[in-house]
Amino acid sequence: MEKYIQFYRKAAGDDGTGEASMALGLCYLKLRLYDMAAAQFKKTIETAPERAEAHLYTACALAKGRKLKTVPSKEMPDIEAFVGAALMLAPDEPRALALQAAIKNDYYAANGMRVPPPQPSELLGRLRSTGAKRQHVDEVLDLTPLSDTGFAQSLRSAAVAV
């Protein structure tokens, strides 16, 4: 992993497409270096704001591997803003739909708060209709674990095993 990080660090300084900073962010995210990952994804967004996955991964990095239920309330608006941006850019992005549904269920409902629309069940329906792959849902669940294992299973069931 270290050789990839060194390669992408060198490439990121001269990158006009956001590819290198995106790849470096993914390396950092895989290593659970969340602040460094978020910085790289934000750099990608500055270079290529149309990249929905950069917004999605920024949200995941800001969650810092914590169960969504435990994310402090002052941090959730930023996470939701990046998920919302990803969905504005790519309304059928399965990872963003899964993360938004997870936030509604595992943050709002699990903490006894009013769940703002759309409801988790509606998002599950949208996720189903996209033909999402299970690996996309699993990726989100690995990055942002849920305290509600039943809802995690519902998310997995909404996706197609490949």
Q: Is 90 in the same domain as 115?
A: yes
* 38 and 59, same domain (yes or no): no
- Assess whether 117 and 145 both reside in one domain: yes
Residues 30 and 67 in one domain: no
Q: Same domain, yes or no, for 40 and 70? A: no
Q: What digits encode the pLDDT tens for the residues 144-161? A: 999 989 999 999 999 987
Do 90 and 144 reside in the same domain of the chain?
yes
What integer pLDDT is reported at residue 161 of this predicted model?
Answer: 77
Note whether 126 and 69 are same-domain residues: yes
Q: Are residues 86 and 136 in the same domain?
A: yes
Please give the model's pTM, rounded to 2 decimal places: 0.90
Domain count, the chain: 2
SS3 (DSSP) at 133: strand
Give tens-digit pLDDT for 43-85: 999 999 999 999 999 999 999 999 999 999 999 999 999 999 9
Give the structural domain span for 37. 1-49
